[in-house]
Amino acid sequence: MHNVVGAYLLEAFLYAAKRGLGYKDFFLAVAAVGGAPVQADHRLAEKLRELVQLASRSPPGWRIPRDAILVDGLGLAEAYFIYKWLAAAGMPPAVDVGVNPRGDTYGFKQRLGVENMIQASQKLEELTLFTSIDKAVHSLPSMPAEELASAMERAVAERLRLIAEEALRRRASIATDHAYDVVCAQDGCRLCHGPRCPGALSKLAVALLMG
């Protein structure tokens, strides 16, 4: 079932790329799923809503390739950025999507029998750990969705390029423990994940598989 969810997310990536959508466009589609009153690509947002429904019928579990680059909190917009970069370089990865029912790092650490993500990176062979996305998720304040998209892009774009370059150089897969949601209220939109986060996209764990 996870491969089915991955195939559906790949379809969303291909649709977005064909439409010429960038990181912020994909982010705003994620925000639209979270209730943001934004001008997002309607079809992409619908595809992400359908993805959530499909994943809700999938059993828990996710793929952790042993040669992978581990990215803490890889969101769907970030996964799209990396996918699009690698595709432009002539190495489009396969896409797999697992389900982390808590939407946080706890289940990931429990599965590996470790206490933190550094130990996880040490336990998995030849694995590099990137934490900048999760740090941005926890540090950016609530603001309008369009401003949040720009702030997130400033915070992570350069690091995403580095991740993509390393994946290409090493032919290494990319794995994550969870994603994040954009949830909105009258005072603006914020990023969240975990049991207290009302969204569903943060429960998706995307793996970009090379080779």
The Cα–Cα gap between 61 and 108 comes to 9
Q: Is the dihedral of CA 146, 193, 46, 17 positive or negative?
A: positive
Q: Does the structure show a pLDDT above 60 at 164?
A: yes
Tens digits of residue pLDDT in 173-182: 999 999 999 9
Tens digits of residue pLDDT in 106-141: 877 777 778 877 777 776 654 567 888 999 999 999
Please count the structural domains in the chain. Answer: 1
pLDDT band at 196 (very low <50, low <70, confident <90, very high): very high
**Domain containing residue 112:** 2-209
> How confident is the model over 56-70, as a mean pLDDT?
84
Is the whole model's pTM more than 0.85, yes or no?
A: yes
Q: Does the structure show a pLDDT above 90 at 54?
A: yes
The Cα–Cα gap between 54 and 130 comes to 28
